[in-house]
Structure 1
C-alpha cells in the first residue's frame, strides 16, 4: 500500500496561492510566509520524505494561523503517493 506524501504539484501550487493570499490580505504580511511548496525543480530534486515534511510544515502553518479551511480535502487524483 502506498502512503500519501503530498498534493500533486499543480494542486499544491493552488493551495499555496490561497495561503499566500491569506498571509497578504488577512495577516497583512505579518510573520513568516507559508512554506514554499516543493513543485517544479523542487519536486524533481526532493525525496518523498522531504515532500511529506514540507507538506506537514504547510499544514502546521495553516493550523497555527487558523486558516485550515483554505486547504480543501484532496481527492485521490490530487494526491501523490510514495
Structure 2
C-alpha cells in the first residue's frame, strides 16, 4: 500500500492546528497549504493529494511545527494499492 495523505477529517484537523500555530506566531510568511478536503477531495487526483500533503509537510518543517503533522497513524492515512 502506498500512503498518499491523511484521511480528509484528519487532514483538516491538522490544517486547523497549523493555521492556529501560524496565527499565534504572527502570521509570518505564507499560510499553511489548504487541505484537499470536501469538494476538493472528490475533484483531485491521488497525485494531487500526495503533492499537497508533501507541501504541507514542507511548510510545517519550514515553520518549526512539524510535530503537529507527524502524529498521523497508519489507519488514518488514505492509501492506494502499489
Q: What's the TM-score once normalised by structure 2's chain length?
A: 0.92
Moved over 3 A (4+): none
Q: What is the DSSP-based 3-state SS (H/G/I as helix, E as strand, rest coil) of the residue aligned with 2:59?
A: helix
How far apart are 1:73 and its partner, in Å? 2.0
2:21 matched residue in structure 1: 22
- Segments of structure 2 that go 5 or more residues without pairing to the other structure are none
Q: Superposition pairs for residues 3-22 of structure 1, below 5 Å?
A: 3-22=2-21
After superposition, the C-alpha distances for 1:9-58 in whole angstroms (9 at most, x for unaligned) are 000000000000011002x1121000000000000000000000000000
Q: Calculate the aligned-residue CA RMSD, in Å.
A: 0.9
Q: What's the TM-score once normalised by structure 1's chain length?
A: 0.92
